[in-house]
Amino acid sequence: MSAADTTTPAKVPPPRQAPPPPADELPRVRRPSGGAAIPWLLLAPCLLVLAAVMGYPLARLVTLSFQKFGQSQLWGFQPAESVGFDNFAKVLGDGEFWTVVLRTIVFTVGAVVFTMVIGMAIALLLQRVSGWLKVLINIVLVASWGMPVIVATTVFKWLFDSDYGVFNALLSKLPGVEMIGHNWFASGPEGLAVIMLLVVWGPCRSWSSPSARASPRCRRSWRRRPVWTGQAPGESSATSPCPSSSRSS
C-alpha cells in the first residue's frame, strides 16, 4: 500500500461569510407621505355606511327608551314626553319579564349544548362508517345546512302538524300511544322544544365537519404523547398505558 493511500485528506474549512453591514448602512425604505392615513381613507366609506345604517337606529332606540312614545306620538299628533327611567322600572318590575329572561337563557344554553353534542356524535359516526355512507351523510348535512330558514320552518311545521304530521304518525305506531291530533305548539315547553330542534338542526353541519377532520389528528397526537409516570426507565406500571417490556438476561 502506498503512502498516498494512507494519507488522510485535509479538511478544508468552509468559506467565511461576509459580516452583515451595520444598521446605519442598510438601505432605508422610503414610506410615502401620509401612509398612516391611507388605510383610514379606504375604510371611510364603509365606516360611514355602518354609522348611517346602525348608528342612527341605535341612537334613536336609546332616545325612545327614555320617552313615552305611543300611537299618538307615532302618528305625529302629540310630541314625545320624557319620562326618565320609568320605562326601565316598569319592565324590570314585571315578573313576566324575568320569566322570559329565564326561558331565553334555558333555550340558548340548551341549543348550544345540543348543537355541540349532536355535531360531535355525527363527527364520530363519520369516522366509523363506510365511504358511500359517509358521502350520503355529508349530502344530508349540506342540504340541511344550506336550506333557508323559511323552508326549514315550513318543513318542521309539516312534520309536527297535529293532524297530518309525520312525527305524530310515527309515534302513534307505538303500542299504547295515540298522538293523532296532538298540537305541539299548544304547550309552551313542547313548542320551545320543537323550535330548539329547528335551531339545532341547521348548524350541526358547521360543527360536525371540523370535528370530523380534527378527531383523527387528536387521536394520533394522543398516541404520540409521552406519559410521565415518575418511574425509572425500564420499569413497568399497571397504570401506565404504554408499559415497557423488561428484558430477561
Sort 137 into a burial class: Cβ within 10 Å, 0-12 / 13-18 / 19+.
middle
Among 160, 141, 163, smallest CA distance to 212 is for 141
CA angle centred on 178, ends 175 and 181, rounded to 5° = 160
| Cβ pair 204, 119 in contact under 8 A | yes
Spatial distance between the Cα atoms of 122 and 136, rounded to a whole number of angstroms: 12
Q: Which residues contact 118 (CB under 8 A, 6 or more apart)?
A: 200, 204, 207, 208
| Cβ pair 123, 218 in contact under 8 A | no
DSSP string, 161-195: -TTT-HHHHHHHTSTT---TT--TTSSHHHHHHHH
Spatial distance between the Cα atoms of 112 and 201, rounded to a whole number of angstroms: 11
Spatial distance between the Cα atoms of 233 and 60, rounded to a whole number of angstroms: 72
Tens-binned pLDDT, residue by residue, of the chain (249 aa): 555 555 555 666 666 776 666 655 555 656 656 567 888 889 999 999 988 888 888 988 898 889 888 777 778 777 888 888 888 998 899 889 999 999 999 999 998 898 888 888 888 888 888 888 888 888 888 877 778 888 888 888 888 888 888 888 888 888 888 888 888 888 888 888 888 888 887 766 666 555 555 555 555 554 555 544 444 444 444 444 444 444 443
pTM score, whole prediction: 0.56
Q: Which residues contact 87 (CB under 8 A, 6 or more apart)?
A: 65, 66, 68
Spatial distance between the Cα atoms of 16 and 170, rounded to a whole number of angstroms: 83
